[in-house]
Amino acid sequence: MSRTILKIACASLIASAAIAAHHAAGATDAAPASPQKKPYTVKDGKVDINTYHGYLYYGDQCMRCHGPDGAGSSYAPNLTESLKVMTKEQVENTIINGRKHVDSSNEKVMPAFGTNEDVVENMDNIYNYLLARSDGALGRGHPEHLDP
């Protein structure tokens, strides 16, 4: 009886330690001891269907400012570089809340997409597409997709 309780206590301790470790790794973006599996698949230049949707919605919603392939423009930053230094959470917050850089010599405004369903529902897909571009796993241009 008391043994069972001890076992349960141990198991939950291990579980919470694992969760804490996971959070710590995410928060610091520390060099991965065991590399995390990427959230996208690229095979012979073809992407998984979710990443493909990310490509399409990027083209629809973001490209007019951030340029083709996430590569940036004179108006908005190169997102393949941004994703090397931003956490996923920071990227999502920027997308949801938008961003402004307005002063005497700048007038750069990114709209908030928090009420744009196409963007909110495809947040992971857009992020994964940009991450694949940022990692150099996916080249420029319109990718083909793998069979779903």
Q: Which residue has the tokens 């095979």?
A: 43
Q: Count the residues in the chain.
A: 148
Minimum distance from CB of 96 to ligand HEC (Å)? Answer: 10
Give residues 38-77 in contact with ligand HEC (rule: CB under 6 A).
61-62, 64-66, 75-77
Cα–Cα distance between 14 and 139 in angstroms, integer? 41
Token pair of 43, please?
Answer: 């095979």
- Is residue 131 at the binding interface for ligand HEC, with CB under 6 A as the rule? no
Site map (CB under 6 A) of ligand HEC, residues 2-41, x = contact: ----------------------------------------
- Whether the CB-CB separation of 128 and 40 falls below 8 Å is answered with yes
CB nearer to ligand HEC: pick between 17 and 68: 68
| Contact indicator for 144, 137 with CB cutoff of 8 Å | no
Residue 94-123 contact track with ligand HEC, rule CB under 6 A, x = bound: xx---x-x------x-xx-x-----x----
CB distance 130 to 79 below 8 Å: yes
CB of 76 within 8 A of CB of 134? Answer: no
Binding site for ligand HEC (CB under 6 A): 61-62, 64-66, 75-77, 79, 82, 91, 94-95, 99, 101, 108, 110-111, 113, 119, 126
